[in-house]
Structures are given as structure tokens and as C-alpha cells.
Amino acid sequence: MADIAFDAQKIAFAPISFQAALALRDLGILSLLNEKEADDKTISKKLKLSLYAVQTLLENGVALDLVSLKDGKYALTKTGWFLLCDPMTRANMDFVNDVCYLGMHSLQESLKKGKPTGLKVFGKWKTVYEGLSKLPAKNRKSWFAFDHFYSDIAFPEILPLVFELNPARVMDIGANTGKWAKKCLDYKKDTSVMLVDLPGQLNVAKKNLKKYGDRAQYHAANVLDAKTVLPKGADAVLMSQFLDCFSEAEIVSILKKVKASADKNTRIYILEPLWDRQEYAASTFCLNHTSLYFTNIANGNSKMYSYAQMENCVKKAGLKVEKVFDGVGRFAYTLIRCRK
């Protein structure tokens, strides 16, 4: 019973715990302890922080199992080291703090209205994607670091899967800054890539892909606009971490547009971290929490989906699942290959 009560208190104080852990990291306390053990006075002197600040943070650090205390000296625990040094944890923490934290206070309002009410802390946009290029530099950096951290790790493993059928023309829908397009252009020198995204994102991609000349082409479009028609002629269409940005009804609508642009030989690839296809509980935990970012900040109506939900959208759009690749990359992505 005591353990259950303790678990409940961890949730009750979770926002404070998060900020305490972030302060321990960003103020340099964890870094100092990663070098060697130290007492509170030494830490205070070296970091030029008040003894009060150091003691208060370290006491919380002990409670969070980030640091240990023995004979008056503090040491970094394994969890503390992970929080400090693990790239995934850093990307997650920065994303939560810089993108999600302030807006999340209005989560209940978002759930009731089906709108991203937390987005108002950044600007008056209907979705985060409209304002992505206008976010403050730090917040924008954390958003892209989070997005790219997971997709970048999967890219090397999905390249041979997408190019297995030797496509000459690839369409990248939701191209963002053009990282996937660049991988394709480097992987196969006679391939061209059509990047599809909102104008703000494509402006960034154009700068990043300038050296590829006309091998990189651009089509500015809002895929939710009923009037949008996607370019035809692609041998392969990829949507990497794209469809989770939309509701199920919107996904079906987008896939119908993709179907209309495809011919009988076009292969359509959907890359997603599906929460029910994860090997580790920590992965499922992270994905389920990321769903609430979509609820409160991104758009108000999308989430991280299960395989059954995504497959249902594919079928409703009139497409067929041809092959499924599970466990792609370090973070167990699923690549779904579809066709007309």
C-alpha cells in the first residue's frame, strides 16, 4: 500500500520534479558530479550558486534518485548519468520544457474543445505547423531536435527498404527541412525527390538542398485543403512521422489524395512509431505521452496510433497493405508498404 501511495505522490508532484531535474542538469550540478563526488559547499563555490539553491536541488535530486548522499558527499547515480548524458532523454526533456510545458496547463480545455489551446503561449495559429518557422529560436530548435532525433535514427534502415524496388522518383510528403529527401538524393544519384509541405517548411528545405539542383523539386500544399491535388508520377511516396499529425478522418482524406496521385506501380510507405508495436515499456510510455502534445500543442485531434488504427485508415482510403516491416531502427518504427 505504501508503494502505491508513493507512486500517486510522484504523479502529484511530477511537474515540480521535472523542473528540479532540469535545474540540476542545466545549472551544471549533474555535470560536476559526473566528474567526481562533492559536498554541497564545494558545489556552491564552483558553480557560484547559493548554498540554499544547491542544498534544495540536491535534496530533491536524492528523492528523485538522480544523486546519492553518503558521508556528506553527493554522487551521480545511474539515473542521474542517464538524464545528463543520454541523447534521447535530453531531446525529450528539452521538447517537453521548451514546447509543451507552459501550454499543458490548458490540457483539459484542449480535450473538451478538440483544439490545441496550449499553442496560444506561442502565437495565434490553428496548428503548430503553421507557426513552426516563427517559433522562438530555442523552442524551434527543441521541436526539430525531438522530431529529427527519432526519424534520423530510422532513416539508414528504411532507405534500403524504400529503394528495394528501385524508384526513380520519390515524393516526400511532410518534408520539413528536407533531411529525408537529402538521404534519398545521396543514396541513389539518379533519383529525384518531390518535397511536399507548407510554404514555411519548404523555404527551409530549399536552402538545405540547394546543391542538388533540379533533382529536388518542391510542391507547396496544405494536404488538408479539399482542393489540394498532389503531383503524379512518383514511383514511391513516403510519409515519415507525418500521419500521426492528423486525426483518423484526416488521415483517410490524405491517403485518398495520395491514392489519386499514384498509379498501379506506385508504392506508398508510411513510417510511424506505433505504440502497440514497441518492444520496451519505456517506448510505449513516451509515445502515449507524446499523444497529449498533439492534443494540446500541435493540432488538438491527432495522436500516436496503434497498428490497427493505421491499418483501418489505409483500408478506408481504398489502399492495400502489401508488406509490414516492424522493429525498424533503434526505436522500433513500423514501415507499412501500401499500393492501390
What element of type H or E holds 324?
strand 320-328
Which fold would CATH assign to domain 88-339?
A: Rossmann fold (3.40.50)
Check residue 201 and give its pLDDT. 86
Q: For the domain covering 2-85, report its CATH number.
A: 1.10.10.10
For the CA atoms of 134, 244, 146, 336, the dihedral, rounded to the nearest 10 degrees, stands at -130
Closest CA to 25 of 83, 92, 65: 83
What distance in Å separates the CA atoms of residue 157 and residue 150, rounded to the nearest whole number?
A: 12
What spatial distance separates the first Cα and last Cα of the chain, rounded to whole Å?
A: 55
pLDDT class for 110, splitting at 50, 70, 90? very high
Residue 272: the pLDDT is 95
**Cell numbers that stand for 191 in this block:** 533519383
Q: Which residues have a Cβ under 8 Å from the Cβ of 147 and sit 6 or more positions away?
A: 176, 241
The overall average pLDDT reported for the chain is 96
Question: What would the grid cell of residue 13 be?
Answer: 508532484
The pLDDT of residue 154 is above 90: no
Q: Are 41 and 51 in contact (CB under 8 A)?
A: yes
Mind listing the pLDDT tens digit for each residue in 228-285? Answer: 999 999 999 999 999 999 999 999 999 999 999 999 999 999 999 999 999 999 999 9
One fold for 2-85 and 88-339: no
> pLDDT at residue 152 above 80?
no
**Predicted TM-score (pTM) of this structure:** 0.86
Task: Single out the residue of 98, 97, 127, 140 nearest to residue 301, CA to CA.
Answer: 127
Q: In the chain, what are the domain boundaries?
A: 2-85, 88-339
